[in-house]
Amino acid sequence: MESTTTTISADVLVVGFGKGGKTAAHVLTDAGKRVVLVERSANMYGGTCPNVGCVPTKMLVHYSSGKRLEDDAQEFFANSVAGVRALTSTFRAGNFDALDGKDTATVITGTARFADEHTVTVGEGADLITVTAPTILLNTGSEPFVADVPGLADSKHRVSSTDLIQQDQLPESLVIVGGGYLGLEFAAIYQHFGTEVTVLETADRLLRHEDADVAQAVTDILAQDGIRLVTGARTVEVRDNGAAATVLYEKDEQTLTVEAEAVLAATGRRPAIADLNLEAAGVRTTAHGAIEVDERLRTSRPHIFALGDVNGGPQFTYVSLDDSRIVLDQLLGQGRRTTTDRVAVPHTLFITPPLATTGLTEKEARAQGRNIKVSRENVADIVAMPRAYTVEETRGLMKFIVDAETDLILGAALLTIDAQEIINMVTMAMRHGITATELRDAIYTHPSSTEAFNEVFDKVIG
């Protein structure tokens, strides 16, 4: 229950209700520790993922893919948002009750600010609460970063990703500044709902960290779906113009414009540390504004740990979860787990169909001088994968990078239906030394997407 005590002493203080922090809090409480968790917003119990990140956006991916031509776009969108709100509210309440309902756990809602390396204050004046603890876990996550483009930050038409998924009104037109994962996911979602979408990307192609053939396949699919993709476009100004905003961008030495009802700044996220007063605790930060940690996630103060996005690592919920395992091993285990133990961490871009990747790209493997085989096939040509036809989504490709000498999988890019699931099997194989031949010759259910392995590993190119 919510504490009204002026001063609270805990065994462990957790600042931030994200995946890593809440997981650690549960385990520590069950181990008999007195835990206090401070979360600055009642709308964020459980962290970014179930409230404004993974869960609501993937629900919108699901809803948007079900829209029919005869559906009224605004009504369909409003009903979809209502469905998202209902689920996220349930998750939020469940996260709060599950932790605060424990006898040795207390959740405090408010902004935590360090007073010294063992103490934080929450609130102010008569409502001030002081929490002290010998061990502190920081899990405050990240927040959207707005690029320094004249007029963008102050535009009344600028929206954040959180704004978009919480508003009932579907924008008729949307300009997305930034063609990274977040930008492309929102482009796909809103285009499917019926919004006219333009993506402005500074780089000369999308997904520049992926192989060119994979990036081109993604680009072709998004363009086929009706999204206007402008690469090599540097956004230089945003001007409000009544009911719309005019976005000016430079491309091929020309200044061009595009108008939209809403402008999403999808230019990245940065660690949320501004309110923590880290200086008072002597906690150092990096040049990129993240909390500096070692391989065991200890900060410059060994009793203070940083988990999740705030430590500058990969910004994924499942990495934050793994962070909690590392920290718990320090606090309750043998202290052997480190961030260097991670092998083949997968990523998924939730467009339709999704793109899931892991390990090395072909370009990276060749740059390292590896002797590799590349197995690749277009989904439409995979005879052993009828599931793609049964769900009427045959776009995309499967690509594997295989060590020619050991037959071990070095990397994969899966642009296909069920890619977010298939990639987990691939990464498991990579972690445990299962060869490409073993995956090729395994028995899979039918019709399924994994049975594509029976064929694709024989499709060697180059």
- 26 noted as active-site residue: no
Residue ranges of alpha helices (H) inside 267-402 are: 317-331, 362-367, 387-390
Rounded Cα distance between 2 and 432, Å, is 45
Q: State how far Cα 410 lies from the chain centre.
A: 23
CB contact at 8 A, 437 and 375: no
DSSP assignment of 37-63, as one string? EEES-GGGTT-HHHHHSHHHHHHHHHH
Catalytic, out of 26, 288, 303, 446: 446
Q: How far apart are CA 164 and CA 167, in angstroms?
A: 6
Cα(55)–Cα(89) distance, rounded to whole angstroms?
A: 11
CB atoms within 10 A of CB 381: 12
What strand order describes the sheet that includes 12-15? 105-109, 35-39, 12-15, 135-138, 304-306
- Neighbouring-strand partners of residue 356: 348, 414
The per-residue DSSP string of 117-170 comes to: TTEEEES-GGG-EEEE-SEEEE---EEE-----TTTTT-TTEE-HHHHHH-SSP
CA distance 69 to 412: 35
Structural Rg of the chain based on CA atoms: 24
Element (H, E) at 372: strand 372-378
Catalytic residues: 446
